[in-house]
């Protein structure tokens, strides 16, 4: 999965800010955060027991005085921000910008 590889690269530099669509099925966060886009900072400092795999990210986090083990499936991660890079992901099912431009360009015809 490309998001896992990108996350691992960004995480080597330090903490990563995840932009997460909390309305996506499988997201596990405190109930009052559901239903909107939200930012979560993960990495070795804020979440030392961080776990990643092909399905998503599991990270123990603190919300005020409350600890909560959050889970973010990759489908819910819409962007990743580190000190050196910002990576935005297209909506699921949509291909990158280059594929869209090829579809919208009409085929050329030879006119004599």
The total domain count for the chain is 1
User: Is 48 inside a domain boundary?
Assistant: yes
Report whether 57 contacts 19 (CB < 8 A). Answer: no
Name, in order, each residue with C-beta under 8 angstroms of 85's C-beta and a sequence gap of 6 or more: 10
CATH number, domain containing residue 20: 2.30.30.220
Burial of 54 (0-12, 13-18, 19+ CB in 10 A): exposed
In a domain, residue 64? The reply is yes
Whether residue 112 is contained in a domain is answered as: no
Check residue 48 and give its pLDDT. 79
pTM tops 0.85: no
Q: Tell whether 111 is covered by a domain.
A: no
Both tokens of residue 75?
Answer: 């489908």
Please report whether residue 9 resides in a domain.
Answer: yes
Q: Domain of 81?
A: 2-104
**pLDDT, tens digit only, all 112 positions of the chain:** 799 999 999 999 899 999 999 999 999 999 999 999 999 999 878 777 899 999 999 999 999 899 999 999 999 999 999 998 999 998 865 555 454 444 556 666 666 5
Q: Which residues pair with 21 in a beta bridge?
A: 37
The answer to whether residue 59 sits within a structural domain is yes
Q: What is the pLDDT of residue 95?
A: 56
Tell me whether residue 109 is in a domain: no
Residue 43 inside a domain? The answer is yes
User: What pLDDT was estimated at residue 13?
Assistant: 87
**What is the model's pLDDT at position 101?**
45
């Amino acid at each position: 999965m490309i998001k896992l590889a990108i996350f691992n690269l960004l995480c080597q530099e330090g903490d990563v800010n995840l932009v997460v669509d909390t309305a996506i099925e499988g997201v596990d966060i405190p109930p009052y955060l559901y239903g909107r886009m939200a930012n979560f900072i993960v990495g070795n400092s804020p979440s030392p027991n961080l776990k990643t795999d092909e399905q998503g990210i599991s990270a123990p986090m603190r919300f005020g005085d409350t600890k909560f083990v959050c889970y973010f499936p990759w489908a819910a991660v819409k962007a990743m921000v580190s000190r050196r890079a910002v990576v935005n992901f297209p909506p699921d099912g949509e291909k990158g910008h280059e594929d869209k431009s090829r579809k919208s360009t009409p085929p050329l015809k030879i006119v004599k």
